[in-house]
Amino acid sequence: MPSLETRRKLWGLFFVAPNLLLFGAFVLVPVAGAFMLAFKDYKAGLGLWGSPWIGFSNFTDIFLNPVFAGDFWMAMVNTAVITVVLVPINIGLALGLAALIYPLGMRAQGFYKAAFYLPGIISAVIIAIVWQWMFSEHNGLINITLRSMGLSPVNWFGERWTAIAAIIISTIPYAPGGGIILYLAAMGRLPVELLEAADLDGATRWQRLRHVVLPLLKPTTLYLVVISTIESFKIFTPIYVMTRGRPANQSTSLVFEIYQSAFDASEFGLACAEAIVLFAIVMIFAVIQFKYLRSDEEY
């Protein structure tokens, strides 16, 4: 007869088994297959196992082959620019709005939490379609507004950096919602005695925020920075819906480049190699962020 502890462990395994099986079937197996494809010249007729091994040729093609390297490096630079601009804006907006909402009453806090969070659960495709119309050169709301102000309209999707700017602008309004919720929750757990001590020492609201609140919010900031960085590197929907890489495939991102390599060019091995490179880049950024933002205190 198994012991009570053994029976508890067996029952625990029994209840988590369905999730583990689904995770293995739909996450681990595809990841393992993609890792194998990165080192193969995939042929649909030969399948995964029958396709020939080519070693690191897909990786060298990404960085050195003039046919593929140009598009990959352009996608890399675009993704880096989007990340560098979008992550600080998202974190700053989330923190600033949370600081404004926190002193309000519970009912007002609930209203603003819902108001800022709800846009984040709307389909990203629908939001991208709306922004695509707003950025339209001839009848878009933004250019109509510019004309009414006496300014020249902008061909947002006609140049590389205006297209990148449109992608960034379209992502900002609904991105900070989750960060606001997390910052408000963290602010509610801050030690009251530290805030009271700062008030007794004559600290202004800005000094209290900078020297007391922000250091205590480092764990929440770390989490949001890591998640926002990952999401920015994974940006796909606005590009797929709004620009499709226009103009001349100059507004692509890494994930959109992977999509094009796999489903437009049928270079599945190359796409998997690009996905592995993207994973390595995100992991390196996450390690660096953990090193410099990690804190022993959590609220």
- pLDDT per position as a tens digit, 13-69: 888 999 999 999 998 998 888 889 889 888 877 777 878 888 888 898 888 888 788
Flag whether 206 is in a domain: yes
> What percent of the chain is modeled with pLDDT above 90?
19
**Domain span holding position 184:** 53-293
Flag whether 270 is in a domain: yes
Flag whether 34 is in a domain: no
Model's pTM, two decimal places?
A: 0.85
Flag whether 163 is in a domain: yes
Helices (H), the chain: 4-23, 29-37, 47-50, 57-64, 66-101, 106-117, 124-134, 141-148, 160-171, 177-188, 192-200, 205-208, 214-216, 218-233, 237-238, 254-259, 268-293
> Does position 299 have pLDDT exceeding 60, yes or no?
no
* Per-residue pLDDT band at 84 (split at 50, 70, 90): very high
CATH code where residue 201 lies:
1.10.3720.10
* Per-residue pLDDT band at 256 (split at 50, 70, 90): very high
Flag whether 23 is in a domain: no
Flag whether 229 is in a domain: yes
Flag whether 35 is in a domain: no
Place of tokens 């099986």: 21
Is 229:92 a contact under the CB 8 Å cutoff? no
Flag whether 73 is in a domain: yes
Lowest mean pLDDT among 71-80, 81-90, 283-292: 283-292
d(CA 78, CA 243): 13
Number of domains present in the structure of the chain: 1
Average pLDDT, the chain: 85
d(CA 280, CA 230): 11
